[in-house]
Every structure is written in structure tokens, then in C-alpha cells.
A and B are shown apart, each in its own frame.
Chain A
Amino acid sequence: MQATPLLIVLLALSAVAYYLGRQRSLVVAGGRIRNLHSLPSYYGVYTLFWCGIPALVLFALWMMFQDTIIQGLVISGLPSDIQALPSTELNLFMNNLQNMVSGNIVSGEIDETMKNAAAHYQSLQGYSSLILTVLALVLAVAGILWARQRITPQQRTRNSVEQTVTILLILCSTVAIFTTIGIVMSVLFESIRFFQQVPMTDFVFGLEWSPQTAMRTDQVGSSGAFGAIPLFVGTLLISFIAMLVAVPIGLMSAIYLSEYASSTVRAVAKPLLEILAGIPTVVYGFFAALTVAPFIRDLGTMLGIPVASESALAAGLVMGIMIIPFVSSLSDDVINAVPQSLRDGAYGLGATRSETIRQVIIPAALPGIVGGILLAVSRAIGETMIVVMAAGLSANLTLNPLEMVTTVTVQIVTLLTGDQEFDSAKTLAAFALGLMLFTVTLILNIIALHIVRKYREQYE
């Protein structure tokens, strides 16, 4: 059976289980609810859990590992000369095989071994889904029967159901931890493999980035250079331009909105500014590439300054626009958290509003504002679509905002989209860049969140 219908059948069986369990409890109680320890619906849920949980767990595990196991079996069933191929060629063979099995176009010609292997593959797939269907259904039905015959009026069903629910809640709350572990593991392992091929010092301190590895050993100039400094510099340059736009505008808007604006202006302007935060980044990317970049280039031509058509300035400017609401809403929260007594004290001494803001409120709110700006920086560093669409592809070690630079995120995207073989240094380099990106943003976030939290405690 296909996965989706099986899932639907399992869910339907669970619903039946609920009904059966509930009926059973009424039967054992002789139709009088007061004889039961728990309400009838608890017996229903109890049966449902017994029916659904084991079968669904089996289903999920099967789905996760079936392909890996089937592939292993197919490979071990291949003739020994193909098994002895180097891993890249074996991968290619398996890819072709998968394409053939799923009815896609196959590159290269189809020989007898391939046909046999494909038949083997298909029969294994058939067995796998058959076994899964039978096992899952047997588990579900057995669960119902087991739970049903255990139902007695004295059984403390509510307690056990509630305990199960609590365990489920705890499991759900660990998803966040598993996500973090998953991220760290996935980028770390591939990075380690990358650093086995390219020394870490070359990567972190190298000045040249051209991630092309040679197809043939005698090729010239394509040994691949993995020096990430130009990428870091490009990322920082664009982020810096973005902050130059976002911090003054965001901060001043926040100050105006929280200290000067009437409540009507605030009610209109704040949501309007926040629309900027809700616009997808791909839209900003399009805006940067098609409107802002040509505008800046034409402006440069008019003034006689050469500007690259994919200048860092355009990408940074638009990224700044995107981050304005981020800075302004974080600063707004922080400024509002400054106690009114501080303002009243300053006014009482005869300070004007702007003097109060500059000499009392901003210093008081400074830690929070800095935290917010750090969060914004981490956001700018990790932003992808704007730079993919509006910044350049080739690495260029420069600080001139009118030239073309590339960033870490752009390189990750270019290295991992399109044709890829998973073991080349080129692909692995993307994971190493991902590790850098994750580490830097993580550190920035931890510092920022720490500062913001400390600051909040101060005034609470």
C-alpha cells in the first residue's frame, strides 16, 4: 500500500479504536458511568493510544530507514565488479538506477546488470511496502484488542492516559533540542570531511576563493582555492552598509514613535513599518536586482563614477530597508521599558524632550538597543535571498561598496544548487561555510539575548 493511504487507514483505525474503547468501558460498567474509575472517553483515548502510537512509530521509522536499507541490499546484490567501483561511480550507478526505477530519464545506456538490479530494486520496494502495511495494520489491531480486554471498571485509566500525554508533551518539547543537535551534526561532520581535504588554516586565512576542483589532473588553474577571507569581507561589507541604513532610521523611528508621536500616528505608522518585516526576502531581492541596482549604476554613470551592476551598495541598501522594522521594533520595546520615573525626573530638572531622550533614556536603554542591533547584524549576515539575487557570484577582496562582492550565503547557495556530487570538496565547502555562519550567528545571538535579558531584569 502507498504511504498516504496507509496513514489514512491507520488514522481511521485509531478513530474506530476510540469508539470501541468507549463502548467497552460502558459495557464493563453495566451502562452506569458512576461504576467506572474514569470517564468513558478516557477509555476511548486509552485504546486509541494503544492502537495508534505503536503503528505510527513503526511507520515513521520505516519511512526514515527503508531507502537506506533497500539501497544497501541492492548494492550487496550487485555483481562484484560493480561493487568494487570507487564510491563516486557507485553513487552515479545508484542514481541512475533510482531514476530508472522511478521511471525518469536515465543517462547512459541500460545494460543487463542494470535491468536486473532495477528489477531487484523494485521487488525489494514492493516487499518493503507490503511488509510495512501488514505489520502496521497487525500492530494497530493487536493494540485495539489488547487495550480492549484490559479495560475494567477499576482500571485507573485517566491517570495512565494523562501520564502518556505528559510524556508526549515532553517529547515534543525536545524537538527544539534535536533540531539544534541536527544542525550542529550535519554541518560539523561534512565540515570535518572538508577540512581533511583542505587545511583549516587555508580556509580561514586564505585570500583567494575559486571553488573549482579539476576534472582532469592536467587542467590548468583549477586546483581550487578555498580561502574564505574574501567571502567574510564581502559579507561584512554588505552587512555594514545595511546597518548604516537600518540603525539610524530604525532607531530614530522607534524614538519618535514612542516619545513624540500621538497615539493615532503610532497606531498607523507602526503597523505600516512592520509590513516591511513581513515582505518575503525574495521580493526584496527582486527589488534590489531590478530597481535599485540599475538606479545606482545609472546614477554612477551620470556622475562619472564606475559602478558595478551588482554592486555591494545596492544589496546592502535593500537589506538595510528590510532590517529597519527589526531594529525599530526591538528598540521600541526597550525604550518603552524605561521607567516613566526617569523621564519625569529629567523633565523636572528642566530638560527638553530631546535632552531627556539623549541624556537619560538612550543611556538607560543602551544595553537593550545594542542587543537589538546585534540581533539585526546576525540577521544581516545570515540573509540569503537579497544577496543571491543582487550581489555578485565571484569572490572579490575589496572594501569598495561600488564594486561587486560575494557573501558566505551566496556561495552556499551556488555550491549546493545545480549539479552536485556529494563528496567533492566543492560541495563540502558549503557545509564548512554553513558551520562558520552558524557559529558566528549563534555567538551573536547568545550575546544579544543575554544582554537583552539582563537589561529587562534591571527594570522589572
Chain B
Amino acid sequence: MNETTKKNTMDIVKAKLAKRYAREQRFRAYGIVAISLGMLFLVMLFVSIISQGYGAFFQTYVKLDVEFSAEKIDPQGKRDPEALSSGDYGNLVKESVRQAFPEVTGRTEKIQLYKLVSSGATYELRNRVMANPELIGTTQSVWVPADDDVDMLVKGHIDRNLPESERRMNNQQIGWVEKLENAGRIEKRFNLVFFTGGDSREPELAGIWGAAVGSFYTLLVTLALSFPIGVATAVYLEEFAPRNKWTDIIEVNINNLAAVPSIVFGLLGLAVFINLFGLPRSAPLVGGLVLTLMTLPTIIIAGRAALKSVPPSIREAALGVGASKMQTITHHVLPLAMPGMLTGTIIGMAQALGETAPLLMIGMVAFIVDIPGSAFDPATVLPVQIYLWADSPERAFVEKTSAAIMVLLGFLIAMNAIAVILRKRFERRW
């Protein structure tokens, strides 16, 4: 009797075994699928952005034979800079385009023709003449930026097989571009303007430098405020604070602030910094203040963890040789905790660099062409620039947006890499 029951139990177990193993395998497979899905999303994100954006690093240029005629640039012939800068360079560009296509005569056709060259060509010619007035009276071959539609066509983003009415360029314009291509007058060059220019309504003239400088000032303000305040708070809470209600309230507050939606910080910035204190709208100063409040919890939490990891023996030894509490901390504990604190700060700064929503609230979405000169000038930042470009209808801005994202991600990866290296290099196990 006893024996049969035992056998039965074993049979039951064995009969179930295959099923249980199968379930085990399935469960394991779910895990692998989940991780692979995560990786797949990551790869898709990067592939889609890089494949859309790498083209923006190159820009189509057109070679024009420009006759720098004296009557149009400087009718008085005085050659003083003021007269030179107000010359009719737009006409020069039009003239040289007409020369390239002498067969075009109709008025509408001419307007179509002028559209092939970017409005930036005018400034290009002016800069050249301003730099070198000798050019006046000569005829030069000049490479000028092509219009964004031409750029898109050359890069293959405009489908030539679509019906004419659905294209941004008509058959005639495409014909002209092909003619230019065959004559070797169209070339793709490294797009320096993208890295040195401010924002522009014309995609071919738009650059990220203005936004990058804005980001720099904003982060400078953020760093200058959040690092000292964050470190001080971490030191106080970890080393000095008595265990009481007050300390509890501060701790709960910090933990909650870390999880408050970023847009709420934007509302705070709008109501307090702009409406109450009257600080300038759109200024990196206000952006920096808002981002300081946002990154403080990150820095404080990382700072406390770093202070906690310094063993008590260090403190005891310092106190034992007669250091005061403050000396113990500033001379011994803080230097040992500094790598951890810096790591936390860099990660906080990386978050601040990528933050967009609160900055929309305080007016950093304005269209700003100038490069900001200080933290008080109106400015925008890289992520907001990405948002603005993503909203623009021109096809060429898709490319610019992706390229700007690549630059932003480049900065973020560099910052995080520094944080990782710092951690690896200075981390001490006690």
C-alpha cells in the first residue's frame, strides 16, 4: 500500500516534469524576448535618427559666375564699408543666375529660377566684398548655398516620379538643377553653417550654434547654483542634521521633488521668477534657475550616497587627532566623497541638458536668430531648438532636426561617459 502511493507520487511528479520544464523554458524565453524588444527599440530609435540626420552634415552648393559690378555695389566709388554693406547684392545673385540660364526669359520663369539659390547667397557675396573690396569690378566663380528644395532634390528626398503638382519643385526647375549638375556646378560640401549659425526660417541657413550657446549659459547657471547648494544640503543632512521631524520633512520633500513632473517646475518658473520677480523672459538665467530646482534632488541624493560610503573610521581618526567636526568633513570626508558627488552632478547636468518642457513655459521657445551674448539675453536651448524644428513644415528641417538630435545625444553620451569613467577611476571600496 505504502509502496504504491510512493510510486504514484513519483509518477505524478514525473508526468508533470516535462510540462514544468516546458514552462520553465517558455518563461525564460519571455525574459529574452523582453530584453530583445528593449534593445530593438533602442536600435530602431538610433537607426531612424541617424539615417534621417546624417545628410544634414552636408549641404548642396551651387557655383555661380558672379560679376562684381561696381555700379551695383558701390555706385559712388568711395569704397567705405557702409556703402559696401548696403550694395544691391541680391541683384548680383539674380544676374549671375540669369547668366547661367540665358534661355530663360519669362517673368514667372525667372522667379522660379531665382528660387534655386538660397537667400543666404546675398550675404555670402556681401561678406566676400566686405572682406576684400578688390573683388569689385572682377568676375569670380563663387560657391553659394542652394535653396533647401534643391538640396532635398539632390539628396534624393524629393521623388522625381511623383506628379508635378505633388512636388515642391516643378519639372522645369528639376531640369535646371539637372543641367547644373551635368555642368559640375552643383556640389555637396561639409555644412559648416549648421555648426556655426543661429536659427533661421530658411533650412539651409539654420544652425545650432545659437541654441548650443544658450544651452551652455543655462547649464552654467544651473551648475553654479545646484552644485554648491546640492553638496551643502547633502552634507547637512548626512553629517549634521539631528534625527527629528524637521529633517524628515526635508527628506520627504527632496524625494517628492525628484518625482514631480518637469512641466510643473516650468509653471513655478513662470509664476515666481518671471511674474513675481520680473526676471527677463526667454533668458538662460531663468532657465538655469528652473533647472537648478529640478536637478537639485538628483545631486542631493547622489551626494548623500557618496557621503554614506565614506567609512566612519575616517571621521573617527580625524576627530581623534583633534580636528573639529567641520574640519573633519571639509578636510577628509568631502574629498573622499567628491568623485561620487561629481558623478551625480554630471548625471544631473545631463538631465538638465535634455530637458525641454519647463523651458517652454518660461518663453525659451521664441524664434531667436542672434547668438546670445550673456545669461540675460533671450536664447533657446538645444532640445527646444529640436522641438521648434520638428514643428517646421519644410522637409529639409526633418534632416536638420535629426542632425541636431545627433549632436545633443553626442553631448549626453560624452557627459555620461565622463561620469562612468570618473566612477571607475576614483571609486574606492573600503
Contact = CB atoms under 8 A, between A and B. Distances in A.
A383 B45 CA distance: 19
A355 B34 contact: no
Interface in A248-299: 248-253, 255-257, 260, 269, 272-273, 275-276, 278-287, 289-291
A198 interface: no
B83 interface: no
A389 B387 contact: yes
Interface stretch (A24-32, A48-56, A175-183, A209-217): A175-183
Contacts of B32: 256
A454 interface: no
Nearest to A158: B324
B172 interface: no
Contact of B37 (A249, A282, A409, A430): A249
Interface stretch (B121-129, B131-139, B163-171, B236-244): B236-244
A340 to B, nearest CB: 20
B326 interface: yes
B257 A324 contact: no
B42 A441 contact: no
B386 to A, nearest CB: 5
A283 B35 CA distance: 21
B326 A162 contact: yes
B357 A170 contact: no
A413 B263 contact: yes
Interface string B222-254: 000000110011011100110000000110111
Contacts, number: 271
Contact of B235 (A169, A278, A289, A321): A169
A379 to B, nearest CB: 7
Contacts of A417: 360-361, 363, 365
B106 interface: no
Contacts of A65: 277
B16 to A, nearest CB: 11
A378 B262 CA distance: 12
A456 to B, nearest CB: 13
B390 A276 contact: no
Contacts of A175: 229, 233, 293, 296
Given A283-B49, A283-B408, A68 B39 contact: no
Contact of A172 (B39, B229, B255, B376): B229
| Chain B interface extent, by class | 35 or more
A183 B264 contact: yes
- Tell me whether chain B's interface is mostly helix, strand or loop, or mixed: helix
A250 B34 CA distance: 7
Contact of A353 (B24, B48, B276, B374): B24
B34 A252 contact: yes
B135 to A, nearest CB: 34
Nearest to A171: B232
A413 B356 CA distance: 11
A303 interface: no
Contacts of B398: 290
A4 B224 CA distance: 14
B270 A416 contact: yes
A256 B350 contact: no
B256 A445 contact: yes
B405 A324 contact: no
A343 to B, nearest CB: 15
B296 A176 contact: yes
Contact of A352 (B24, B33, B37, B232): B24
A142 interface: no
A446 to B, nearest CB: 7
B38 interface: yes
Given A358-B27, A382-B264, A388-B387, 5 more contacts: A158-B324, A177-B250, A252-B33, A272-B38, A282-B356
Interface of B: 20-21, 23-24, 27-28, 30-35, 37-39, 41-42, 44-45, 48-49, 52, 228-229, 232-233, 235-237, 240-241, 249-250, 252-257, 259-265, 267-268, 270-272, 275-279, 293, 296-297, 300, 324-326, 350, 353-357, 360-361, 363, 365, 374-376, 383-384, 386-387, 390-391, 398, 401-402, 405, 408-409, 412, 416
6 contacts: A176-B254, A177-B253, A179-B268, A183-B268, A253-B38, A281-B357
Closest 6 pairs (CB-CB, A-B) = A382-B261, A256-B31, A280-B354, A67-B278, A186-B271, A252-B34
